[in-house]
Structure 1
């Protein structure tokens, strides 16, 4: 990690969820900005919502402390949240990934179309606060309802 690349810490943190973090980092280095499958429920859970709710919620979260990594692709916005959140989360249209499930994640430097980071991880382990995410999703849903 001596390269000084700003994405090294994020890459190391994401790879720490893998059973072999060193191999994971090597695979990502060989593949460039490709996607890798990582297990949820190790370092984080993933909550995904339709982008019509997720993007406005993310807009609010980025203005508050308690925001964290978020990615988008396939009409969904996914939020990395603390382990255990997926088991306790209920909501229409919400997809969850926790222990026993695998998710495809892009390289932290990936900024292309397709699955991409909207807020890349910074390597600190910071995650989206579930209470703030719930509040932001309710706010987005209320605004969507009053606008329609």
Structure 2
């Protein structure tokens, strides 16, 4: 079986992201106009927010297969993880993260390119994979989440 092309992955990610909204066609229309689409959280996922400067070093400590979509905005110094519903309680003690309430809108570019400087560091791929809050909390913890290669040192 052939692996999906980049275009197929972007299209699957865009469809998944747009379908997280009550009006997926409007999301697609906004993207076609090369604008950010406001997609409310709370139906499929929540948003955990951190500063880009402090969050990016934590991001790279989480293995790719454990990382759901992650959106970055360098101008705003912001990084957003898409996390499962119910993650707010598990991440409540992580001071560097703020889990936005359900209904909070995340202004998203399409998965294939950046808009207004905002880009996906880890793109939605259509699979529905979200970042496990336990792994995210561990990455921000005092010892940090340890990659398998780091743990063997």
Runs of 4+ in 1 over 3 A off after TM superposition: none
Q: TM-score, normalised by structure 1?
A: 0.79
- Quote the residue 1:80 is aligned against: 82
- Across the aligned residues of Structure 1 and Structure 2, the Cα RMSD in angstroms comes to 2.2
Structure 1 stretches lacking a partner, 5+ long: 142-148
Aligned residues: 135
Q: Secondary structure at the match of 2:60?
A: helix
- Quote the residue 1:20 is aligned against: 23
Quick check: 89-98 or 113-122, which moved more? 89-98
**Matching of residues 1-148 of structure 1 within 5 Å:** 5-6=7-8, 7-29=10-32, 31-32=33-34, 34-61=35-62, 63=63, 65-73=65-73, 74-86=76-88, 88-90=90-92, 91-111=94-114, 114-138=117-141, 139=143
Structure 2 stretches lacking a partner, 5+ long: 1-5, 146-153
